[in-house]
A and B are shown apart, each in its own frame.
Chain A
């Protein structure tokens, strides 16, 4: 079991640039979650998918953020244009079904200068 795989592990970019974060969920899991973690706000749910369909994106902070899940094994979170306040650790997590716990990837540490 390879676990949830995220890439890149670290991303440093300049304000205004486009950033794309990638996630491969655990095979067979039908739900995928994107979270953002900061010291001030903790773990915030940005968006989650069920069977590749976005269910709730109310946590996406602005139109600069978008997420896709074109198939069961891949999801992206895109920030365009990026801003310094987007600096955080972004986690992807997946779960098997409605009552199962989440399994987290190693996260992407994003720094926007």
Chain B
């Protein structure tokens, strides 16, 4: 089992729709979770951090965390063509030091 799993996509949504990106992780003790966006040929950039169960909203983005199910998701409301990118889920492993493991990413395509 991979430490962090994501559907590779591509996930295609029409402009203005809600895009839902999902991620599961294997380390039950993980406490810190991150979503990154990566445009082609660029470096990953942080979108959201979430540490507690529930929802966290920032503008058009909402991160959702369910530690019991070992599941974290990212919702993008009112999707725009500029949101087309690969979205990476990252999990900080339990333990004293901060090893951060990334999923392979979900490619999102927003169709105008």
Contacts and interface: CB of A to CB of B under 8 A. Distances in A.
Do A and B belong to a common assembly?
A: yes
Interface of A: 31, 33, 35, 41-43, 45, 48, 50, 55-56, 91, 95, 98-99, 101-107
Q: Is the interface of A mostly helix, strand, loop or mixed?
A: strand
Contact of B49 (A91, A98, A101): A101
21 contacts: A42-B103, A42-B105, A43-B44, A45-B100, A45-B101, A45-B102, A48-B97, A48-B98, A48-B99, A56-B99, A99-B31, A99-B51, A101-B34, A101-B46, A101-B90, A102-B34, A102-B90, A103-B46, A104-B45, A105-B43, A107-B43
Given A55-B97, A99-B31, 12 more contacts: A33-B100, A42-B102, A42-B105, A43-B44, A43-B88, A43-B102, A56-B97, A98-B97, A99-B92, A102-B100, A104-B45, A105-B43
B104 interface: yes
